[in-house]
Structure 1
Amino acid sequence: MAHDESIKISIIIVSYNVREFLEQALLSLQKSLKNISNEIYVVDNASSDGTVSFLKRRFRDVSFIENSENIGFARANNQALARVRGEYICLINPDTIVQENTFSVLLQFFQDHPDAGMLGCKILNADGSLQLACRRSVPTPWVAFTKVIGLARLFPKSRLFGQYNLTYLDPEQVAQVEAISGSFMFLKRAVLEAVGGLDEQFFMYGEDLDWCYRIRRAGYPIYYVPDTQIIHFKGESSKKSPFQQRRLFYEAMRLFVRKHFKKGRALIPSWFLLLAIHVSAGLAYVSEIVRRLVWPLVDVLVLTCSLAAAVYVRFRSEFPWQPFVLVHIVYTMIWIICLAAFGVYKQHRLSGSKAASGIVMGLLINSTFTFFFKQFAFSRAVVLLAGAMNLMLAPLWRFTLKWLARKGYGTLSAKLKNLLLRRRSLVVGDRETAGKIIEKMRSHVDGSYLIEGVVLLRADEAEDFVNDVPVLGMIDFLPEIIRRQRVQEVIFSTDKLPYDKMLNAVANSLGSQISFKMAPSDLDVIIGKATIDYIDDIPFVDLDYRLHSPFYQSLKRLFDIMLAILVLCVTIPIRLVIGACQRPEKVTIRLPLAEKSVVHTRIFSRASIRFWWFLPALPSIIKGDLSFVGRDMFYTPTQDQVGYSLQPGLTGLEHVNRGAGLTDEDRKRYHLYYLKNYSPFLDIEILVKTMLKRRF
């Protein structure tokens, strides 16, 4: 489209299933472009998260181009490039936040350097570190060779080997470079008209390098300008499986080499470079597979050692070890499947309670095998002994890693603290919105945030506490507060917080390995590097509860009966010993049901018998008056409360999370979560957590 002199800057964003990130990007763009005439195009590549319908109502000045399929980054950008009218054009990723002075600084740079054709700015990762791709060289055969075989990483300060990401240059100095990151590319319209758009042969990767290469060959210099900065939540705008991302990346590298480096134009032949690319891709795939398998392999080692030790203790040298191999494979597979079912190889890798729950479930299944399959019935004592060792060792090595991470030993300090432990968090914002964020974080049943304090925006808001959370200071002192409190995560409220202050806080925390996230004012999410945590994920109006289904009611009833009978048989000696010392006391449990208002059961005195008090109540579980897991048996909800339909239980989510005292609203939230998400696995997990926390 022809140039319109009334429009200074045209913005193009290609989006694919990053709705929440895109909203924040658009909000930051509005602030940065406040006094600059502009137009914004969003090209949506067939997102399935309702991006366009969600954002059209909020950003009426934005032009949306909707594609019926994912046509790739280059082709989608070209759709908008054919329509833009601005004197300057900016291609920017949807998972970025720009500083409020970004475009004014870059426009001034263009005026001061009329020869410049394209500009890139300083780009920060979510942890405050410099994103190396923001300034780099075109991968000539030599540059690509040093990158592929690892010389660039080994010698980053070398001019000979560090050319790919120009790591030998000062990141705070303006520099003329060969290429910049495709996440932010700011160029003159004249450059576009002279060079043309992106090469659509590149689907996702490589099109930015190709464009930069063609722009420089046309005689237009490219500058890296660190006088302004943006945050790029790298990886969100290209959400694909790691294997698919690697495949697309290496395919783009091969295409770039074939397109620009013909035979005989370099000291290193292109076939050798292509071979190096294939080798590097193969090593990357192997590395990814090993990374995924390392957790289950540790468990396989633990399970193998436990079963072998149990066999040796029971049979010594008399046991025929050859048939043991088949038994070992079957038993180990069952335990690994059960552990995987509890999510210990995904989001709960270091959860000792979930590991213990998986081991208990596997023990029940493997014990059943000894009764029904003769080839596995060589010794029930072996199964029980191995199960007991697994129950100790599987959580133990996870607790050990947690302890090492908390102590900060080795490389565990960063990754395990941020990803696998309960995160020590700060909330940054004004008093009102920070209070709302804290309430939502506390209401998150599966939350993993430990709120250490609040950092306010202005001194005149200073108070001692916000929602019982201490105020630790003002945002100007955020880096010092982070160091003093040893926090792992900082959550910014973007409602009244200037983006400049947020970006400066991130930049000033470089090297601290802190995870920075945003909480939009009108969304129930927390946005961070490659993650979106939904902190208001319980829809109270949804009455389609899983535990109201007859199938799940029968499943829960069967689970209660089988477990009660098992515990009754195993604890006969314990009940006899305790029964000789004291008599069970009768208790009455009130029910809100009209046809049966009360039930009676017996328990040992909880004051004198801390753990085994519930044993006399097991017959009531078999009868169906009680359940192992349910609502608090001594709490009676009213008929209009969620827990009204929930059976009284010996334990439940209330017991596991009762640390700070529970309000009726807290109970309602836990009851609702249990009704919606019930499964036997959830019951086992709650029982294991209850025992580990000594809440029986």
Structure 2
Amino acid sequence: MEISIVIVNYNVKELLQQAITSIIQAGKNFEYEIFVVDNASTDDSAEMVRDKFPAVRLIENEDNLGFAAANNQALKLARGKFILLINPDTIVQENCFSVILDFFRSNPDCGMVGCKILNPDGSLQLACRRSFPTPWVGFTKIIGLSKIFSKTRLFGRYNLTYLDPDMSYEVEAISGSFMFFRQQIIQDVGFLDDSFFMYGEDLDWCYRIREAGWKIYYLPDTQIIHFKGESSKKSDRDLTLQFYRAMKLFVEKHYQNRYWHVPQWFLMTGIWLRASLTFLGRFFVAVLPGIVDFLLLNLSMLLGIYFGVYWRFGFFPLNDYLIVMLFYSLIWISCLMLTNSYASYKFSSLRTFYGLMIGLILNTSVTFFFNQYAFSRLVVLIAGFFNVVLLAGWRMVFKVLARLNKLPFKNSLGGSLLGRRALIVAPRKSGEKISQLLTNNVDSGYDICGLVVLEQHQSRDDAISIPLLGTVNNLDKIIQKNRVSEIIFSTEQVPFDRILDIIHRTHRKDVNFKLIPSSMDVIIGKASIEYIGDLPLVDIQYRLMRSENIISKRIFDLLIATAAIVLSLPELVYLLLARKACLIRKTVFSENGRPLQIFEFSGNKLSKRQQKLPSLWSVFSGKISLVGSRIIEYDSAKFPSFRAELKPGLTGLGQINKNSAGTLEADQRYNYFYIKNYSIQLDIEIIIKTIFKI
């Protein structure tokens, strides 16, 4: 056997298929074997390999073992004189194997070769040739000197940017995405160190190979395209942590004794300082809208003071009121957070307006209770006016400039703020069409990261151009790993009850849900419609899933339950003492299908209202609600997959419509209607109807 090729795959089925196809083309004149180690992918990658490439030796792991450990599994079975470790998100040139094998034969001291690696846009991927991160090299990288003075030998050693990328030469390290080496390397050096889960294992291996006396070369005579990051998509925070932990492990393993004159704490401080700066930069981008709003809120207060007091009277003791200004601003910021103005709707002028109006009402109320400290109502009203102009205004200007491509920092800071990273939940073919329409419309701002299907068997159709990320069962993990901010549903073959169930299960404040109707004659709860070309995107805003309505419903429950408990206390005592009512514990289904315990009275002569009186305490504690789904006794054998999606309630639409309710299907319809159309007025109407029926 001449060549053994090892590919570690994780959830990049389409790219893996493309990589194997290119490898087969490159190896047609050689005797070779291909290993694919699948690290517990959820996109049916292993099934694809079995169906389309039966000659490939497939190793399936039940858990994600990481890059090093997975490679070692195949390396222990590899029989080739030469071995290639290659990422699944790559395409190799047809002359790749012949060029590199010729180089090995001409250079017997060469133990490992790395080729020229290109990004998808044709630019050079700097990681294809590197130096070890010695204290000086690491220092220049951390503080940015290697980027500023990249063409100088003194500062450009980390990625060897001072060398010609079209010349061949010996290097200290190459990229782990393409490592071609002799079988003898394993015998002399050993396997990859699986202490490195991801990142750093290639650097560590190169270090050990050179320590064993072998040379490593960079060879640009052949090249690959590497879709960097596609094989390891995770949240930015996870990737950054793993990278700097790997650097810490590398320093502890190799530099602790070698650079004895440089204290280890100094090296560790440099690594974690760089990590901290990276996190701080990303944190700053995330909180930037809040910082801008806070500054503008205080500016509005100053304008309110100027026009409301100083302009009229010529004097105002501002220093005495700085804390009061801060208090007012924090109330407005809290109200903006309540309306999701810093999560799903960072640049929504309408949401900002709602939050500011709620804050204005609260701040105006403060003037009634703290007259000696509060500003006059005129100052608050003037500040409220300027808040709307400034806070809603800068969002409108920002969006207009972004649409016109007039933001000078859109590709860096603006990209982080404006990016609408989305996934599509749909059947494969319709999902592909939706993806093409959204992608082709540049002004939409959508970055489609892939497709999610309902069932596993739907992922086994013919290949499509959009990456398949998995099924809805893994949606939470997919959202986190791909940093998704919007989920787009196609109503074609995805029922509305299933859509609502998915939204409920994966409800996150930082994710927007939209749907594309198969026809426009559907009736949906309150929604806004965005047109991308001819494609209508309906923004799903089920009222009870909005944070402000969740809070208002809870406050309503607390107020009514408290009043009802106080008013019914004499009757409770009478029932316990005079009527000998027995307090029983009852196990019912919660909204998530789990067992929930509430209390009721039992007794033959008690009315239904009297039996439910102890349940008011469950309403007060938040276990159940005044208005909600029908209370059903817990029976997991009878209802194995029960989910109401709505808290149990003492009353509700299902309870007052007994003629048309009673079955789980009917109850579910009422629950969905209530979730979509919730309001305090609806709760009051249901309670009044319940009282008159009783």
Superposition TM-score, scaled by structure 1 size: 0.60
Q: 2:442 aligns with which of 435, 440, 450?
A: 450
- What is residue 285 of structure 1 aligned with on the other side? 279
Q: 1:394 aligns with which of 374, 391, 396?
A: 391
CA distance in 1, matches of 2:181, 2:268: 32
Going from structure 1 to structure 2, the CA distance change for 1:314 and 1:122 (only over 3 Å counts) comes to same
Q: 1:143 aligns with which of 137, 142, 160?
A: 137
CA distance in 1, matches of 2:115, 2:180: 9
Deviation, 1:208, is 0.7
CA distance in 2, matches of 1:115, 1:283: 41
Question: Radius of gyration: which is bigger?
Answer: 2
- What is residue 77 of structure 1 aligned with on the other side? 71
- What is residue 201 of structure 1 aligned with on the other side? 195
- What is residue 92 of structure 2 aligned with on the other side? 98
Q: 2:521 aligns with which of 614, 637, 643?
A: 643
Going from structure 1 to structure 2, the CA distance change for 1:414 and 1:544 (only over 3 Å counts) comes to closer
Maintained 8 Å contact 2:352/2:392: no
- Deviation by residue 1:241-269 (Cα, 9 ceiling, x = unmatched): 43443333333223222322353656645
Deviation, 1:339, is 4.4
- What is residue 66 of structure 1 aligned with on the other side? 60
Going from structure 1 to structure 2, the CA distance change for 1:75 and 1:309 (only over 3 Å counts) comes to same
- What is residue 215 of structure 1 aligned with on the other side? 209
- What is residue 87 of structure 1 aligned with on the other side? 81
Deviation, 1:223, is 1.1
**Mind listing any 5+ residue stretches in structure 2 that lack a counterpart?**
421-428, 450-461, 470-480, 505-513, 549-694
- Greater shift in the superposed pair: 146-155 or 79-88: 146-155
Maintained 8 Å contact 2:12/2:231: yes
Maintained 8 Å contact 1:526/1:534: no
Q: 2:409 aligns with which of 405, 408, 412?
A: 412
Maintained 8 Å contact 2:432/2:464: no
Maintained 8 Å contact 2:40/2:60: yes
- What is residue 626 of structure 1 aligned with on the other side? none
Maintained 8 Å contact 1:441/1:535: no
CA distance in 2, matches of 1:94, 1:196: 23
CA distance in 2, matches of 1:101, 1:11: 15
Maintained 8 Å contact 1:177/1:222: yes
- What is residue 257 of structure 1 aligned with on the other side? 251
1:359 paired to 2:352: yes
- What is residue 604 of structure 1 aligned with on the other side? none
> Relative contact order (C-alpha < 8 Å, sep 6+): which is higher?
1
1:9 paired to 2:9: no
CA distance in 2, matches of 1:275, 1:421: 33
Deviation, 1:99, is 3.2
- Deviation by residue 1:457-484 (Cα, 9 ceiling, x = unmatched): xxxxxxxxxxxxxxxxxxxxxxxxxxxx
Going from structure 1 to structure 2, the CA distance change for 1:533 and 1:306 (only over 3 Å counts) comes to closer
Q: Secondary structure at the match of 1:216?
A: helix
Maintained 8 Å contact 2:15/2:89: yes
Deviation, 1:73, is 1.8
Going from structure 1 to structure 2, the CA distance change for 1:371 and 1:71 (only over 3 Å counts) comes to same
Going from structure 1 to structure 2, the CA distance change for 1:198 and 1:526 (only over 3 Å counts) comes to closer
1:234-245 superposed matches below 5 A:
234-245=228-239
2:496 maps to amino acid: D
CA distance in 1, matches of 2:14, 2:491: 19
Going from structure 1 to structure 2, the CA distance change for 1:437 and 1:416 (only over 3 Å counts) comes to farther
Deviation, 1:205, is 2.2
Going from structure 1 to structure 2, the CA distance change for 1:336 and 1:224 (only over 3 Å counts) comes to same
1:449 maps to amino acid: N
CA distance in 1, matches of 2:541, 2:27: 45
- What is residue 496 of structure 2 aligned with on the other side? 544
CA distance in 1, matches of 2:276, 2:169: 35
Q: Secondary structure at the match of 2:77?
A: coil
Deviation, 1:226, is 1.5
Going from structure 1 to structure 2, the CA distance change for 1:414 and 1:380 (only over 3 Å counts) comes to same
Deviation, 1:78, is 0.7
- What is residue 326 of structure 1 aligned with on the other side? 327
CA distance in 2, matches of 1:536, 1:547: 10
Deviation, 1:174, is 1.1
Maintained 8 Å contact 2:49/2:58: no
Maintained 8 Å contact 1:124/1:231: yes
- Deviation by residue 1:41-89 (Cα, 9 ceiling, x = unmatched): 2223334444434554344333332223332221121111111222321
CA distance in 1, matches of 2:92, 2:385: 55
CA distance in 2, matches of 1:283, 1:74: 28
1:507-518 superposed matches below 5 A:
none
Going from structure 1 to structure 2, the CA distance change for 1:329 and 1:95 (only over 3 Å counts) comes to same
- Deviation by residue 1:472-526 (Cα, 9 ceiling, x = unmatched): xxxxxxxxxxxxxxx99999xxxxxxxxxxxxxxxxxxxxxxxxxxxx9614459
Deviation, 1:38, is 3.0
- Greater shift in the superposed pair: 381-390 or 122-131: 381-390
Q: 2:16 aligns with which of 6, 22, 45?
A: 22
2:441 maps to amino acid: Y
CA distance in 1, matches of 2:277, 2:226: 27
CA distance in 1, matches of 2:542, 2:405: 37
Maintained 8 Å contact 2:294/2:333: yes
Going from structure 1 to structure 2, the CA distance change for 1:147 and 1:380 (only over 3 Å counts) comes to same
Maintained 8 Å contact 1:135/1:166: yes
The total of aligned residue pairs comes to: 495
**Mind listing any 5+ residue stretches in structure 1 that lack a counterpart?**
346-350, 424-434, 453-486, 492-519, 553-629, 632-636, 685-696
Going from structure 1 to structure 2, the CA distance change for 1:371 and 1:143 (only over 3 Å counts) comes to closer
CA distance in 2, matches of 1:80, 1:344: 47
Going from structure 1 to structure 2, the CA distance change for 1:439 and 1:280 (only over 3 Å counts) comes to closer
Deviation, 1:541, is 0.8
Deviation, 1:304, is 3.0
Going from structure 1 to structure 2, the CA distance change for 1:652 and 1:45 (only over 3 Å counts) comes to closer
Deviation, 1:324, is 3.6
2:208 maps to amino acid: R
Superposition TM-score, scaled by structure 2 size: 0.60
1:583-622 superposed matches below 5 A:
none
